[in-house]
Amino acid sequence: MTALKGTATFRRFFIGGQPQKGFREKALRSINARRFMPTKDAEGVAFGWVPLTDALADHLGPEDVFVGELVCLGFRRDEKVLRAADVRDELKLRVRELQFEKGRRLSRDERAALKDAIVFELRARAPIRRKVAELVWNPEKAEVRLYGASKQMAQACGELFARTFELAMEESEVAGLMVRLGVDLATLKGDTVPLSGPIASVTMPARELEAAHG
């Protein structure tokens, strides 16, 4: 499941270029400038780089990041989980109390302001959902393997990667692979026989086939 053990399940990305010589020192500064910082009360989401093998560390040294020719990073994303049902219940309760105190119904604006205050308050003590994806970058091959990342997380990681290293990170697909292999799709269009289509030598009705195999 991870870069270190188990079945290797990952997303493959192509990197839009190779880093310049002597990039390590600069990269390390840039990584530490974007290291993970815990979420503040008012924020719902926080993300940043952590050492691949220690998601709780607050600093990344060269020994954490550079493994042989590879660049290894953890991408940590913390999200405060706020249940809509909790907000709804709390709002209902407070509205009831305030209406009783004031002796009148609350206006729409008052309700909206109250809801914002409740969200702020509940978020401050909401549990945190932590996710860590593992990134292994081979600069020579200009490829990244990202382990344990959903599509949303991969997107956030790609954006942070681009800001950190000033290199684009694009998820692999056949079209991109063909560009890397130096094959032009236009040269393959319409000039070959497609594989699909009926086979002349077999003229067998479907029901005959079904009968043959029950």
Partner 1 sequence: MAEMNVSPEYLGAEFLTFLWHAGESGEELQVGEHVVRVSVGQHLKLRSMDGSGSDVVIKGEHAHRAPELFVALWRGAMVVQAKVQLDINGTVLSGALKSDNLTFNGVKLPKVEEQDAGPRVEKGEKPGENAEIDRQALADEAAIIDRSAMLELAQGVVDAWFEQFLKERNSRKHQAWVAAVRKWVAGSIQGMVDGKLPS
Give the footprint of partner 1 on this chain (CB under 8 A): 3-5, 7-12, 52-53, 63, 67-68, 70, 72, 136, 138, 141, 143, 145, 171-175, 177-178, 181, 183, 185, 187-199, 201-202, 204, 208-209, 212-213
Whole-angstrom distance, CA of residue 203 vs CA of residue 208: 10
Nearer CB in complex with partner 1: 108/151: 151
Nearer CB in complex with partner 1: 103/190: 190
Nearer CB in complex with partner 1: 8/93: 8
Q: Least distance (Å) from partner 1 to the CB of residue 116?
A: 43
Nearer CB in complex with partner 1: 55/98: 55
Q: Least distance (Å) from partner 1 to the CB of residue 183?
A: 5
Q: Smallest Cα–Cα separation from 34: which of 72, 73, 64, 8?
A: 73
Report the DSSP beta bridge partners of residue 116: none
Torsion angle defined by CA atoms of residues 51, 131, 165 and 12, in that order, rounded to the nearest 10 degrees? 110
Q: Least distance (Å) from partner 1 to the CB of residue 49?
A: 16
Asked if 60 and 51 touch (Cβ cutoff 8 Å), the reply is: yes
Write down the residue that tokens 């978020």 correspond to.
123
Q: Least distance (Å) from partner 1 to the CB of residue 205?
A: 11
Whole-angstrom distance, CA of residue 65 vs CA of residue 151: 24
Q: Least distance (Å) from partner 1 to the CB of residue 173?
A: 5
Q: Smallest Cα–Cα separation from 170: which of 153, 185, 148, 155?
A: 155
Nearer CB in complex with partner 1: 107/203: 203
Asked if 39 and 88 touch (Cβ cutoff 8 Å), the reply is: no
Q: What is the CA radius of gyration of the chain?
A: 27
Q: Least distance (Å) from partner 1 to the CB of residue 196?
A: 3
Nearer CB in complex with partner 1: 4/45: 4
Whole-angstrom distance, CA of residue 129 vs CA of residue 79: 5
